[in-house]
Structure 1
């Protein structure tokens, strides 16, 4: 008997049962499924005939599911979800979004742009195989040129011929100075760079764009560049130093906003400095003449859309 029921019940039957349970009225369920009420009534009778049992009882408050009706409605929720996922997966394969994409990004670009774009892509094609490398621009461009990456969010290093690349979008990068909440300057207002000189620092090595921007900010304000510096590209090392000492660490605004949210539990905060720190823009960079897979093109387009949205909003 169970095989007969399984072979005769269709997705549209489960859709109707679920809609009646959710909405409590046959007329509302019919309207939600773009059916006439007589057609919905006939379909319900058909289901009850297949199952051999009433699915609902009519009460002054509406239609209440029987035990059999509740069981079918529960199964319907899972079944319909699986059908939708299967349809999405088929569509992703047809659009070529089931392959592999490898991208690289500087830290701020990864947090601010790559992660949201991946969320959208995964909603469209959850089987897409996505690889993200987060590193300074130099290694990323080297990997791009070697064919290891489809595209990068970064900057073209000095000495590299920019004519071999497709360069799209331009996004400026703002820098915040982070400390632990127990730092002596955590609650100070309108700090100058002279106030920061004598504290330990954790930041990228000399020549890195963020490091250069910080050093230029000290020089512009006539303050000496700090000498107590630990050089690292590791975000975890920076966070560890902030947690264990009175160190200051410069980080891109996207990373800073993420780490300073109360929900992260990192216990970090942004210093209130008078002069903003800006870094040279980074770009979406790919090799000229190289064809990308549909899934790589889709992720690239999502990033460009996000760029344009932020630019339009002035962020």
Structure 2
């Protein structure tokens, strides 16, 4: 018996992916430059070939059925692979050695991805490198959708860990930054209790850095920060620190970069307590091929993580 999936053509997968992404057949049709009747016929043909409905219709559009979820995930991987093949081919035609797409949380990007890219640039002929710096939830989505070759990320709850190859982990430490000239910089041996009443700018609740700060306050028997501006943008954080007496928690690698170069106009508070985050890991997707260039960058990152 012929496998029903093998009878699908690229146009079927493109429509599945577009409907899953946009949630409406009309929008998916516009995205694919199809008429809505043609999209309806193609979707009906796809469901007939699969032998099951792929989407449920509701008042606000369409959502995947359980079968549709499976097909949408594989459509994203297939189409992402085609996009990557096109990008690699374009890179070779332009005389470059290939393409690589990597994602990382901020501290890992500064501490390990940047030095590895510098080393890669010394080895390869004008490589095309794309770096996505984002929270772990977004990075993991991009990895599993085939948009990234590998990531330095935490594994969020609910992720199918069986799809992941975890290569190495690294514990992350925090530093607390304030503007140069902040009154607290005149003190020594600061503890969290000495920061009571300070304004903060930090990630939103539930994010690793914010959780680590709040947990350390609880362990110390003091109330977590109440006056908090929420932002994951480093540029926003620096701008806010410059014009206020707020403080901000950042990864140690970020603090070393900003304070060490003197380019951020900030300084590190002299804390006696070490604040540690849950570890992030070097992760790739199992059974997902990556380009030789991506494989080499992964090796360079791994060398630095294990050094």
In structure 2, the partner of 1:102 is: 101
For residues 150-299 of structure 1, the aligned pairs below 5 Å read: 150-261=149-260, 263-299=261-297
Contact 1:167 1:284 survives alignment (8 Å) = yes
Contact 1:102 1:151 survives alignment (8 Å) = yes
Query: How many matched pairs?
Result: 214
Cα separation, 2, equivalents of 1:187 and 1:259: 19
Residues 126, 241 of structure 1: alpha-carbon distance in 2 compared, 3 angstrom cutoff: farther
Cα separation, 2, equivalents of 1:106 and 1:217: 21
Q: Note the alpha carbon deviations across 1:69-96, whole angstroms, 9 max, x for none.
A: xxxxxxxxxxxxxxxxxxxxxxxx8xx9
Larger radius of gyration: 1
In the superposition, the TM-score normalised over structure 2's length comes to 0.68
Tell me which moved more, 279-288 or 263-272. Answer: 263-272
SS in 1 for 2:183: coil
Residues 225, 255 of structure 1: alpha-carbon distance in 2 compared, 3 angstrom cutoff: same
Contact 2:96 2:128 survives alignment (8 Å) = no
Contact 2:241 2:247 survives alignment (8 Å) = yes
Contact 1:138 1:157 survives alignment (8 Å) = yes
Q: CA deviation at 1:264?
A: 3.3
Contact 1:97 1:295 survives alignment (8 Å) = no
Contact 2:198 2:227 survives alignment (8 Å) = yes
CA RMSD in angstroms comes to 1.4
For residues 73-112 of structure 1, the aligned pairs below 5 Å read: 98-112=97-111
Cα separation, 2, equivalents of 1:123 and 1:269: 33
Cα separation, 2, equivalents of 1:124 and 1:242: 39
- Structure 2 regions of 5+ residues with no counterpart? 1-91
Q: CA deviation at 1:97?
A: 7.8
